[in-house]
Amino acid sequence: MSAQNNVAVITIDGPSGAGKGTISRIVAKKLGYHYLDSGALYRLLGLASKRHNVKLTSVSCLATLAEHMDVSFKTSGQGDLTIHLEGENVTRELRTEETGALASQVAGFPQVRAALLKRQRSFAQPPGLVADGRDMGTAIFPDAPVKLYLTASAEERGARRYKELLAKGENVSLPALVEQVRSRDERDINREASPLRAAEDAIQIDTSAMSIQEVTDEVLNLLSLKGFVPHP
């Protein structure tokens, strides 16, 4: 199987809110594979730059920070993932809209993307990896044997985020969230460095009208046709 360091890598790319994170975690668990949340690395960099007062225009400082920031991903016995920056659990703070916007800005610099390349590839360890992001299939793991690209309409993705935030008790506006989804997409699609796009050999799935269970079933089906069997 040709892949990074002979480790089987499944890439799952797409815009935010398309269901990549949820599906990637489920698939990784089913196969007994490692999981790379590459968006979290950009979010961590956004947060680290804020904490260290690094300006979003100081590209070389951002790249140095990207290369050296002290981050760790820890999975509990129950399978819950927590993310740490300089020893502090920042899992919640990473998910805020503010951190997402910072991440989207730092992700636009080619020097930052280059500085995070090795770190991302180092996640490819036996028995395999599910890599979730924007450029997993195009730039980080171009030889991955299976590439998926999940999409959904901006309205649906905004509505999913709305439900998620309402459930957390946050006071949010649906039209504002849809607008945020659109402007994040625009930045991710139109940037010069590794813009968001499907790899030519990616299988595309529009999840707008699908439940998580339906997407999971379809992805697992596809994977089993390609010889990936669930972990016993």
Query: Contact residues for ligand DC (CB under 6 A)?
Result: 16, 38-39, 42-43, 100, 103-104, 107, 133-135, 184, 188
Q: Least distance (Å) from ligand DC to the CB of residue 34?
A: 16
103 vs 148, beta carbon nearer ligand DC: 103
**Cα 168 to the center of its chain, rounded Å:** 21
Q: Which amino acid is at 78?
A: Q
- Collapsing DSSP to helix, strand or coil, 82 comes out as strand
| Bridge partner residues of 71 (DSSP) | 85
41 vs 224, beta carbon nearer ligand DC: 41
Q: Which residue is nearest to ligand DC (CB)?
A: 39
7 vs 24, beta carbon nearer ligand DC: 24
Q: Least distance (Å) from ligand DC to the CB of residue 103?
A: 4
Q: Least distance (Å) from ligand DC to the CB of residue 133?
A: 3
- Assign 3-state DSSP to the chain and report helix, strand, coil percentages, each to 5: 50, 15, 35
Do the Cβ atoms of 39 and 132 come closer than 8 Å? Answer: yes
Element (H, E) at 119: helix 110-121
Q: Least distance (Å) from ligand DC to the CB of residue 30?
A: 21
Q: What angle do CA 18, 24, 78 make, to 5 degrees?
A: 125
Q: Least distance (Å) from ligand DC to the CB of residue 231?
A: 25
Q: Least distance (Å) from ligand DC to the CB of residue 20?
A: 7
3 vs 116, beta carbon nearer ligand DC: 116
147 vs 184, beta carbon nearer ligand DC: 184
31 vs 134, beta carbon nearer ligand DC: 134
Exposure string over 110-131, b if 16+ CB within 10 A, otherwise e: eebbebbeeebbebbeeebbbb
Task: Name the maximum alpha-carbon separation found in the chain.
Answer: 49
| Bridge partner residues of 11 (DSSP) | 131, 147
